[in-house]
Structure 1
Amino acid sequence: MKANEMDRVDSPGKRANYGGLDWLKLIAALLVVANHTSPLTSVSPDADFLLSGILSRIAVPIFFMTSGFFYFRKLNGDPRVDREAMYGYLRKIGKLYAVALLLYVPLNLYTGYFTEDFSAYSLMKDLVFDGTFYHLWYLPALLIGILLTTWLYRTLPLPAMLAAAGLLYVVGLLGDSYYGLFKANEAFSQLYAGLFKAFDYTRNGLFYAPIYLALGAWAAKRPQPERRPLANAGLFLVSLALMLTEGMLLNLAGMPRHDSMYIFALPAAYFLFRWALQWKGRSGRTFREWRVWIYILHPIAIVLVRGAAETVHLEALLITNSLLHYVAVCLVSIVLAVVAVRLCGISLRISPAKIKPREGA
């Protein structure tokens, strides 16, 4: 199946260098921290909106796209091999999600998660879609997204798979940054009110993750003649400028219900990804694991920085000064990530690179 799509990005006999993607995902992890700390608030609220409200929204698409790229590179059309690859990948993600859920139980208790409107239904909704802490939605979204895009990949040609994922993204856009476009329409409002009973946001595994995973699959299965790095950089910068303009105009118009999903995030993330494939750099498994743990642990770092600042009476320096607060949270997140990697001693990274077919497959 899809034998004509099995070209590799790397040349025969030459080991591909994906160090650029590793560095890109580190940058993306730090952008996620920026999204949750608003580093430029004390300098300029408008500048902070551009950074943490719009620019940082390119981070999670990069995570999904690189995951899709590495995952779909492993699928070769053999049903047994592909099934093993999928199950092995889902086990890795599920293991990481289980660890993350347990890590945040103490903070859930502290914030009153289990007392305020808590029910079996709300817990199930959070486990499947929203996450039990504000950043953990990404992991169930990746689980659902992999299942959905794998099914699309098995049943549709790649262009149709991309189109189907794009339609899902449109549904998500109308419940996110473009919600105000049809909010006054009664049928629209009732439809989305029903959706929002099942989950809090449309930036989830059904409507958000599939398109970026599909773009990663496209990059893996349909490699194009590489442009010069400056060409990909230029296309990224143009797309990013359009994304920033889009975000500002939507905000001025009062359109967003939430501000996670933008139209021009699609080309911006794609051309940034293509550009990063051309970066040459070295990295290792430990470095890749740090990225994952920075994402998982940065809310704990935020709590630690705020608590330490209040204890030693340095609130003006480490809390009120939003830029220094961001730097401190990043540093503490990196330290926590290093400790987590050393304590675990096993790979929990979200990458199927180690998945191999069984003997004789």
Structure 2
Amino acid sequence: MCSILFCFKCIFLLENNRVIETIKRLGILYIIWSLIYLPYDIIHSKGYSVIKIIRLFFWDGNSHALWFLCGNIIGIVIVYLLLRFLDYRIILVISVLFLLVGCFKSSWAPIAFQIFKIQFSDVLGTRNGLFYGFPYVAMGMYLTKNRKWEGKPISGSIIGFAISLIALIAESMLLVVYYKTSSTILWVSVYPLTYFFFTLVCRIKIVLSVDKSRFIRKISTLIYVSHGIFLILFSGYQYMVYFLLVSIFATAFSVIIIKLSQRNGLRFLRYLY
């Protein structure tokens, strides 16, 4: 899901020329929600070195859902800067190389160790803007600048999506069931799957009013950044109960915040989304 969001975000930015504005918005959102999660982070970061705390905040996104905001900012900045010096196709190739390195540091780690006798151990991690955000933001950039896919039959997207989905199932079965990989953050087959998914859904016309579109954006953002609170509050429940409680409370919380932010004197709540 996050791979798709990275991709869509970049497409929106490049088409509307709002890169700097969006980086600022994401930065403010990240700082505000980091402060909200701060009490929990303080409790669970006891014994951490200063360097690790700095890395968590500026690189890993505090290990909450906020990692997506942090990764988005880093990925967008990388692509934005590289576009000043390199062709967008070269940037895409470079980003894919980073994705492959990330995969060998993540889900493909057992195979990397078995074949190449290499075991990655570094401070960079994989769920961040370099190995996760950058490749998918670069894909969004590529889809924006190369519009040839728009003139091709939708059947190509459907077939590509189906093949990529089968490849993902096979990849996950191989790595999770057979190799017992301990990390499932990055997958090779998700990359083409995201590409074909985007080219497929772009052919589907959904008519929504501006108000409904804005509401969906607001509530989806709020649910995403706030659900970590309810993951903490309801931890310990049986899986399905846990899922339902988090979903219901995160949605209700988001609706309430949006409604309150429309009132005079409470408009500052808009900074939460």
TM over 0.5, shorter chain: yes
Match 1:285 to one of 187, 190, 214: 214
Question: Whose RCO is larger (CA < 8 A, sep 6+)?
Answer: 1
**Structure 2 gaps, min length 5:** 262-266
Structure 1 residues 119 and 306, CA gap change in structure 2 (3 angstroms): closer
Q: Which has the higher helix share?
A: 2
Matched, 1:245 2:176: no
2:35 to 102, 107, 111: 102
Equivalent residues of 2:33, 2:272 under 8 A apart: no
1:126 matched residue in structure 2: 56
Q: Is the 8 Å Cα contact of residues 60 and 127 (structure 2) preserved in structure 1?
A: no
Post-superposition Cα deviations, 1:25-48, rounded to whole Å, max 9, x if no partner, equal: xxxxxxxxxxxxxxxxxxxxxxxx
TM-score computed with the length of structure 1 as normaliser: 0.66
SS in 2 for 1:118: coil
The one-letter amino acid paired with 1:271 is F
Shift of 1:253: 3.2
> Which residue is 2:256 aligned to?
339
Does residue 65 of the first structure (1) align with residue 7 of the second (2)? yes
The aligned runs of 1:73-88 (5 Å cut-off) are 73-75=15-17, 85-88=18-21
Closer/same/farther in 2, CA of residues 347 and 216 from structure 1, 3 Å limit = farther
**Contact 1:129/1:141, CA 8 A, preserved across alignment:** yes
Matches within 5 A, 1:1-361: 59-75=1-17, 85-109=18-42, 112-115=43-46, 117-183=47-113, 188-189=118-119, 192-193=120-121, 196=122, 198-199=123-124, 201-224=125-148, 225-229=150-154, 231-254=156-179, 256-281=181-206, 282=208, 283-305=212-234, 319-320=237-238, 322-344=239-261, 345=267, 346=270
Do the aligned partners of 1:289 and 1:348 also contact (CA within 8 Å) in 2? no
Deviations 1:160-195 (A, max 9, x none): 111011111111111011112232689843xx32xx
| Counterpart Cα distance in 2 of 1:238 and 1:210 | 24
CA distance in 2, matches of 1:243, 1:184: 21
In the superposition, relative to structure 1, how do residues 257 and 156 fare at CA in structure 2: closer, same or farther (>3 Å)? farther
Residues 1:327 and 1:234: Cα distance change in structure 2 (over 3 Å): farther
Note if contact 2:167-2:189 (Cα within 8 Å) is conserved in structure 1.
yes
Distance 2:233 2:192 in 1: 37
Show the counterpart of 1:314: none
> How many residues were matched structurally?
261
Offset from partner CA, 1:327-360 (integer Å, 9 cap, x none): 33212211112223334443665xxxxxxxxxxx
Distance 1:125 1:329 in 2: 28
RMSD of the TM alignment (CA)? 2.4
CA drift at 1:259 = 0.7
Distance 1:120 1:238 in 2: 46
Give the CA deviation at 1:269: 1.0
Conserved 8 A contact 1:305-1:328: yes
User: C-alpha distance in 2, partners of 1:143/1:187?
Assistant: 34
